[in-house]
Structure 1
């Protein structure tokens, strides 16, 4: 790299370091600025191995400045960009809009209402992320209510109750209360009886096809005008389990000529022969539909605001009929679109993931290929990074896309400065050394934190390099933390040259591991397992510790087996 280009790199690195520091009101770091720096200056890319070293020195000088000095310097270098940051600072600090009519309530009360048919996939994180964030903003209250009143088509998984609570804890939220709808059947029965006495519900023994024809033609069901005593008697028979599945339902009496057929006399209770998997609920056969159960619970739990998908708009309209009968006030409702997430070959569906696990295609819910929160947690991704990404989507009624790269970028901001560096060579090739190199290499634990010290990496008689890093004959390379070598007669000959050869010449900087004392590593990634070798110090790292393998990416140490160390790839 010539002097002119080096000056440009330093100038651009300073600008981006200042932008990063001023925007986040914190010290800048190499990982956070490399993407914008290289994106704005594509001609820097051929020198990609040298740029971090140059940028690191510039960042050190920037971080020595006070916040006021950083702003003053940024105003000199990039006044327009500083003005944009200041304009953003003046805007609402929240990505999420204010809740409607929030001031009308003494306490904001919300609920997360999962179906416990399995642990959460990534898309599920949006609801608790947003509700938990609103709770924090308004000093409110939220509960987890397991809507588990469908023991047949959406059959609960007994392990999912605790798994979902663990996922919620991973995201950083603790509910104020936890409920299981399957524990509350008697409450729903009592409200059904009251609704019948108010003339708002009737028992119906029409087949599904028969009622569908009547509903679609706007004609009343022949059972609609039964007297209250008969309806109560038949409903008690439902509760006692005297009917079989499909034989009798309880319908909410609405408007049989409503312009939306889906709202006409909808089912509130139906018979299900399949026992509930929870022993405490296994004797019940008369089960409420979700719209009735959820509507009653939202009132009894004094929920003030509901968030639900735009595709569930009819739920509020159905429930409004029940609320009108009871003279209840309906909560505020916020509808949003679906979130689409890229980067996964596996469908974002709990049932699909469960099938793949059962078929042996996935190892479990925390398989790195699975689009689940358990997988992200095992890979070392912080729940905070997911929450920040989800709340950043806002609450648009349109479908929104979330790139996993956004979660990775947020996570990188959280872990980069605290994560030490190591060498890991994927599918390495062994190359002998010559020329009497040092016996030990001492690369830094972290390039931005000299106070942490260095690693002690033995050199030995040969090293392992990644195939793409193998030099051509007579070509020089710089082994990170060790020195300059020239590839001559299939041997890397130590030249003794200092780092100036990297700054002044076309010398690639590569990572390596000692061939004789390396640690066998299996890296589990979303694209499959990768095997290789790491520097020996990796064997001493504790399980759950994060490490950044230089030029490869971040990983979480999972375990040390007898013959290998298993790590889970986080992201680059």
Structure 2
């Protein structure tokens, strides 16, 4: 407890010192401390020496040291003062991690991992890799109604963790561990730290908002144990009772006043059916598990600071030490909308997506299907680092990393979007010998050619009669007519094309293979060279179009998923 208090005192002492460019003032710091920890108001005499000790340590520094330290431990307070700091790159050191860490990623499995989930999986596992210890994957699946788990999602998370190079040391499923939570609840009741509230939702909200106690708050532990047993046995039904944690009913933030820990839910759970009827709310389940599992450090969105404040009351009642917490801001990715799994699930059920791996989905499964490599995503997330500032980023950074990885081994193939037939007069080769890669020795492929070929409609928009072009790896041509599209061959020498500075376009044979490219922004259809069918599940580059992963090959043609340019 003393260490936790010292951390709070230090950040407010530093803020005061930076603001006034002078040693921090005890009164101002004490006021800030009591505002954040109202539970300490009755212990001012006990707290005052700790405040004096911390202020003495801070006063030994100077303006630069104060600002630097504040940026390190509480950058949001520096922002309040108008201070600016450059965003950190890479992972900052973890305080108190030298002897190893226990860190967890704790999703609700109501859908597969999103890109946001990938950040949590990668960063937690990377810190464990750096310091040693355990990386836990914990499924917080105790809401069978509002965030109903998907049975398939448990396996999806394990699969995506493995793909991301973050195999968990242990997997915990909260719905298997309700008896553990019941033990803690009963101990809390006996200690007087929790009570059974019989108010209906509206009545309790009115009391809470008015900073008035629930009429059941003073019920004895013995009576509360009896009511708790009624909740468990079926004597009370849904909405009849809630187990609440006692906090400061006068706290300035109503959200922290006597929060709910358990409620009665009679809906079946996808994993455990109707085995339980009293279910913990997330703040209780998560707090208890962090203690039981020995979690040392928690990475948490700054929007969940209230969760920590609520959970600390539970830890105080039980005499537990709270893990160190690192808050980070939200990330917004330009190419995608919401990462909310619930919102994505509703859109999927409404038919807006073909599946969780639809190219338009911001899921790890979709990125995998598109040909994004895990090491590209991992490198990007690690370099992004951890900071409290909300950030807006582009997937282009991930794509740049991926391009470095896939380019050396990606075969080149011809794909013509929205094909238009061109007839060529004169001598034109019947077969083109085209390299699989312009700079790496991956060999050659042979593409049937001839006097009738297909070119992309995109290449015709500014084309004029008399213009000369080079059909890549085949022939130089001069345009004779645009409608219908006709040309004549003027030689096959690529050096001639270079000397004439001819524009180069790609092409496909009429007897090629139909191709559909699934993109985040729609679908492109066209014709490709027949050999594309040999590249199932590979990432290839459609020349002058972009990198794609060949997803399926059938009698109807090829389906490819677009990765990036």
CA-CA distance at 1:93 after TM superposition:
11
How does 1:339-378 map onto structure 2 within 5 Å?
339-344=331-336, 347-378=338-369
The answer to whether the 8 A contact 2:100-2:128 is kept is no
Aligned to 1:319: 311
How does 1:250-289 map onto structure 2 within 5 Å?
250-278=243-271, 280-289=272-281
Q: 1:219 to 1:539 in 2, by over 3 A?
A: closer
In the aligned structure 2, how far is the partner of 1:226 from the partner of 1:529?
A: 64
In the aligned structure 1, how far is the partner of 2:211 from the partner of 2:352?
A: 49
Aligned to 2:496: 501
Q: Secondary structure at the match of 1:311?
A: helix
In the aligned structure 2, how far is the partner of 1:135 from the partner of 1:361?
A: 38
Q: Deviations over 1:429-472 (max 9, x none)?
A: 111222212222112110111x3221111212311111232442
TM-score normalised by length of structure 2: 0.81
- The size of the alignment, in residue pairs, is 474
The answer to whether the 8 A contact 1:241-1:284 is kept is no
In the aligned structure 2, how far is the partner of 1:227 from the partner of 1:93?
A: 52
Instruction: Please point out which of 231, 249, 252 is paired with 2:224.
Output: 231
Is 1:433 the counterpart of 2:428 in the alignment? no
Structure 1: where are the runs of 5+ without partners?
1-91
Structure 2: where are the runs of 5+ without partners?
1-86
TM-score normalised by length of structure 1: 0.80
CA-CA distance at 1:94 after TM superposition:
6.7
Instruction: Please point out which of 378, 390, 411 is paired with 1:387.
Output: 378
Which piece of structure 1 moves more, 362-371 or 469-478?
A: 469-478
Aligned to 1:534: 528
Q: 1:189 to 1:544 in 2, by over 3 A?
A: same
Aligned to 1:193: 186
The answer to whether the 8 A contact 1:183-1:281 is kept is no
Is 1:523 the counterpart of 2:517 in the alignment? yes
The answer to whether the 8 A contact 1:478-1:508 is kept is yes
In the aligned structure 1, how far is the partner of 2:215 from the partner of 2:427?
A: 98
Q: 1:348 to 1:184 in 2, by over 3 A?
A: same
Q: Deviations over 1:16-62 (max 9, x none)?
A: xxxxxxxxxxxxxxxxxxxxxxxxxxxxxxxxxxxxxxxxxxxxxxx
CA-CA distance at 1:176 after TM superposition:
0.6
The answer to whether the 8 A contact 1:393-1:400 is kept is no
Q: Deviations over 1:212-240 (max 9, x none)?
A: 22223332222122111111111111122
Q: Secondary structure at the match of 2:434?
A: coil
The answer to whether the 8 A contact 2:112-2:363 is kept is yes
Aligned to 1:65: none
In the aligned structure 2, how far is the partner of 1:168 from the partner of 1:497?
A: 51
Q: 1:505 to 1:198 in 2, by over 3 A?
A: same
The answer to whether the 8 A contact 2:297-2:325 is kept is yes
How does 1:62-461 map onto structure 2 within 5 Å?
95-103=90-98, 106-278=99-271, 280-344=272-336, 347-449=338-440, 451-461=441-451
Q: Secondary structure at the match of 1:221?
A: coil
The answer to whether the 8 A contact 1:519-1:536 is kept is yes
The answer to whether the 8 A contact 1:196-1:231 is kept is yes
In the aligned structure 1, how far is the partner of 2:402 from the partner of 2:350?
A: 32
The answer to whether the 8 A contact 2:88-2:386 is kept is no
In the aligned structure 1, how far is the partner of 2:245 from the partner of 2:343?
A: 34
Instruction: Please point out which of 539, 542, 549 is paired with 1:556.
Output: 549
CA-CA distance at 1:497 after TM superposition:
5.4
In the aligned structure 1, how far is the partner of 2:281 from the partner of 2:380?
A: 33
Deviant stretches of 4+, over 4 Å: none
CA-CA distance at 1:362 after TM superposition:
1.2
In the aligned structure 2, how far is the partner of 1:111 from the partner of 1:316?
A: 15
CA-CA distance at 1:556 after TM superposition:
0.7
Aligned to 2:508: 513
Q: 1:311 to 1:423 in 2, by over 3 A?
A: same
The answer to whether the 8 A contact 1:423-1:549 is kept is yes
Q: Secondary structure at the match of 2:525?
A: strand
The answer to whether the 8 A contact 1:241-1:286 is kept is no
The answer to whether the 8 A contact 1:292-1:319 is kept is yes
CA-CA distance at 1:340 after TM superposition:
0.7
In the aligned structure 2, how far is the partner of 1:552 from the partner of 1:285?
A: 56
The answer to whether the 8 A contact 2:264-2:278 is kept is yes
In the aligned structure 2, how far is the partner of 1:116 from the partner of 1:563?
A: 36
Q: Deviations over 1:501-530 (max 9, x none)?
A: 333334101111122x31111111122221
In the aligned structure 2, how far is the partner of 1:122 from the partner of 1:197?
A: 43
Instruction: Please point out which of 452, 462, 465 is paired with 1:473.
Output: 465
In the aligned structure 2, how far is the partner of 1:216 from the partner of 1:357?
A: 38
RMSD: 1.8
In the aligned structure 1, how far is the partner of 2:503 from the partner of 2:497?
A: 7
